[in-house]
Amino acid sequence: MQFVRHLADLPYPALDAGSVVTIGAYDGLHLGHQQLLDRVANLAGLNGLTAVVMSFEPTPKEFFGGPSPPARLMRFREKFESLESRGVDLFYCPRFAAPMRDIAAPDFIRRILIQGLNARYLVVGDDFRFARRREGSIEHLTATAKVLDYSVEQVPSVVADGVRVSSTAIREALAVGNMAHATALLGRPYRMSGKIVKGDCVGRTLGYPTANVDLRRRQSAVLGIFAVRVHGLGNGIRDAVASVGSRPTFDGTKPILEVHLFDFDEDIYGQYIHVDFIAWLREQKKFDAVDELVAQMHVDADNARSVLAANSWSAS
């Protein structure tokens, strides 16, 4: 998959024959996103065109959200890898700043979609809006389609577990620890990925050595103690218990992901792992004494083992 950041670098040579374009934040790559991407890949394959995803960095919600935007479901690298795995040929991800915020809908269509991306098909969701103040709609796209020689296809929303699938619905499920509902909307367990970094080894001194993963997020969509499965350490899948939080017992301030792998004792610093969140066990808590924390860690580990023994999710 090719990555283009600036409009000046378009049209990219791969776009000479035209493209199938979809636009959105694509945060989480949930079932609704997957349906859109499948349609993009199908149209691109049938017509010999380039499959394009246009997104933004930072996301518009982050740009407008000030110091407390909605938590990202995916860091940028995770989004890139997920789009690549879905058959996307070109990922166009311009910076979202004042010029992009202020572009009018007709200019967005002509300058970016037609002149830049050479779009022949546009595939959008049923709630799609674009351009300044979200003035652009499906009506704008269909009104100019014939004149500018492109087609528009609107893909209906996906309903799963009784609700319309959306990144917002997934964030709401994760915020209350409803991992089963989040899994149903995503089509897989919620995942965080990252490189294992050096910590202060507090867990090891307590009898629970942990792999510490830098979240690289302004805020986390999940907090608490979880039963998890870890991918990326060789060919196997490792059961584990994980904590996402600031370690209040030790007066921490920066949220981190700490993973205690069961029956595992190897040097894995620097490795890149994927952590699938299977079940929420409890909220993070400040303990008055370290002995109380250790006793609870024993309970958490036992609970995680029991939950994972009864759960068959093992997505790659």
Indicate whether 43 and 120 sit together in one domain.
yes
Whether the CB-CB separation of 102 and 132 falls below 8 Å is answered with yes
Question: What CATH number has the domain bearing residue 240?
Answer: 2.40.30.30
Reported as type and span, the H/E element at residue 45 is: helix 31-47
Name 131's Cβ contacts closer than 8 Å, sequence gap at least 6.
103, 104, 105, 107, 108, 140
Indicate whether 268 and 213 sit together in one domain.
yes
The residues of the chain scoring below 70 in pLDDT are 199-207, 249-253, 314-316
- What tens digit of pLDDT does each residue of 64-89 get? 877 788 899 999 999 999 999 999 99
In a domain, 168, yes or no: no
The helix/strand/coil state of 236 is coil
In a domain, 32, yes or no: yes
Residue environment code for 71-99, b if the CB has 16+ CB neighbours within 10 A, otherwise e: bbbbeeebbbebbeebebbbbbbbebeee
Indicate whether 242 and 302 sit together in one domain.
yes
For residues 86 and 103, give the distance between their C-alpha atoms in angstroms, rounded to a whole number. Answer: 29
Percentages (nearest 5) of helix, strand, coil residues in the chain: 35, 25, 40
At residue 315, the pLDDT reads: 64
DSSP state string for 94-128: ---SHHHHT--HHHIIIIIIIIIT-EEEEEEETT-
At residue 285, the pLDDT reads: 87
Its pTM stands at 0.92
CA angle 210-212-215, nearest 5°? 145
Indicate whether 92 and 198 sit together in one domain.
no
Question: How many domains is the chain partitioned into structurally?
Answer: 2
At residue 311, the pLDDT reads: 87
For residues 42 and 35, give the distance between their C-alpha atoms in angstroms, rounded to a whole number. Answer: 11
Indicate whether 234 and 290 sit together in one domain.
yes
Identify each DSSP E strand in the chain by its residue range. Answer: 2-4, 19-23, 50-54, 90-92, 119-125, 151-155, 159-160, 163-164, 190-197, 211-213, 224-231, 238-245, 256-261, 272-282
Indicate whether 141 and 262 sit together in one domain.
no
Indicate whether 64 and 200 sit together in one domain.
no
Residue numbers of the domain that contains 124: 2-160
At residue 302, the pLDDT reads: 97
Indicate whether 199 and 154 sit together in one domain.
no
Indicate whether 23 and 149 sit together in one domain.
yes
Indicate whether 15 and 102 sit together in one domain.
yes
- What tens digit of pLDDT does each residue of 234-293 get? 888 999 999 998 777 666 667 889 999 999 888 888 999 999 999 999 998 888 888 888
Indicate whether 154 and 19 sit together in one domain.
yes
At residue 251, the pLDDT reads: 62
Indicate whether 214 and 136 sit together in one domain.
no
Closest to 224 in 3D by CA, of 273, 176, 295? 176
At residue 261, the pLDDT reads: 95
